[in-house]
Amino acid sequence: MNNIVINSEQLNNVLENKPISYSEALEIFQDAKKDPFELFSAAQNLRKKFKGRNVTFSKKAFFNIINLCRDTCTYCTYKAEPAEKKISLMSKQEINQMISLAKKYRCVEALFVTGERPEERYQEAKDWLKRNGFSSTAEYLTHASEWALEQGLFPHTNAGNLTLNEMRDLQKTNVSMGLMLENSSERLSQKGMPHYFAPSKNPKERLEVLENSGKLKIPMTTGILIGIGETPAEIIQSIFAIKQLHDKYGNIQEVILQNFQPKSDTQMRNFPSAEENYFKIIVAMSRVILPEMNIQIPPNLSPKSYQDFLSIGINDWGGISPLTPDYVNPEFSWPEIKNIDKNSKQGGFELKCRFPIYPEFFSFISKELRDKIALIENEERLVREDYWR
């Protein structure tokens, strides 16, 4: 406990390995609003207990496969319309060129990102698929993952609400997959709210996909978007929804806590970004509710203060690319890996490079994928330092 006296009975229970209830979590949150010191201390202790002094990241290349999307979220700048300059429709040749470049930069992860089922809304997407010899975006992703894996990159696909069969196909080549829950509240899908024109963001739909990933034993990354008009109670409920899934299937490998940042070309451009103290309290709450979870914040979205989050419970920086921008948040470049290394050291932590799958989930994947990982793996089941540095 580092000689810190914590008066909160609920926090002491967590430190003694007792799970907390939703109502207890709300009480901790209310206390932390007045003074977050005890919550931050408890989160720091839990992080140290379960994660030690390492902080990890995944060295990646971001493949912006297609950014047409059938959904419209009022805060999203990733989605393109057919006439826009930022449209991305990667051909097979462009994907293979990017794979070669990613290998040259010693990237480990091939992050494949697409809009939500673009072929259901746009003729341009159907034509693009046809030109490349495919009938669906999911089918294209299956082949792109095969090409990346053949070249020694490890695919991680984030393509929205995939079906059980689509995920089963991708599971053969993807060491992990991702789907942001964003929030479990139906209220955010009502008229005038950010998900009103985004049917795939309905929490029931998202939770069903995450449930299917559990049935398939796919190591899954999910997360919460903070500051889009939700209430603290809705955020805490969302963290508990993730906890419930993980308690049932044991396949949630990581929770991303992403702070909203307004974008000039969206309807929510005048909406304030997530207030930092609120964001920090949510991060620490996540560690308290999910004491053994891998928890990350994107460092590029807190460029002046990301290292401060090491002392309130996070243990990962997510994917960082030396090669490609963050197409979801293009105005926020990733910090250089050497600067993250320096800032992590100054915080008393050692930066390590991981695979897109965390070591504790290696048993979930096929022998073929496991054998490929072994080629560049060290004794901690992380990426060999001489490979990534």
**Residue 334 domain-assigned?**
yes
Q: Which domain holds residue 307?
A: 45-388
Please say if the pLDDT value at position 1 is more than 50: no
Q: Average model confidence (pLDDT) for the chain?
A: 93
What pLDDT, in 10s, does the model give residues 140-149? Answer: 999 999 999 9
pLDDT of residue 5: 76
Mean pLDDT for the stretch of residues 154-183? 97
Cα separation, 61 vs 110, in Å, equals: 5
Domain CATH number, residue 212: 3.20.20.70
Mean pLDDT for the stretch of residues 75-99? 92
**Residue 342 domain-assigned?**
yes
Mean pLDDT for the stretch of residues 241-260? 96
Please say if the pLDDT value at position 99 is more than 70: yes
**Residue 172 domain-assigned?**
yes
**Residue 11 domain-assigned?**
no
Please say if the pLDDT value at position 20 is more than 70: yes
DSSP category for residue 330: T
Lowest mean pLDDT among 72-86, 129-143, 328-342: 72-86
- For 340, the 3-state DSSP assignment is helix
**Residue 19 domain-assigned?**
no
**Residue 369 domain-assigned?**
yes
**Residue 2 domain-assigned?**
no
Query: Domain count of the chain?
Result: 1
What pLDDT, in 10s, does the model give residues 264-275? Answer: 777 777 777 788
pTM for the structure as a whole = 0.94
pLDDT of residue 3: 55
Mean pLDDT for the stretch of residues 62-74? 91
For residue 101, what are the CA distances in angstroms to 61, 151, 279?
9, 11, 36
Nearest to 168 by CA among 218, 229, 133: 218
Both tokens assigned to 229: 């008009």
What pLDDT, in 10s, does the model give residues 265-302? Answer: 777 777 777 889 999 999 999 999 999 999 999 999 99
**Residue 6 domain-assigned?**
no
Both tokens assigned to 48: 């140290």
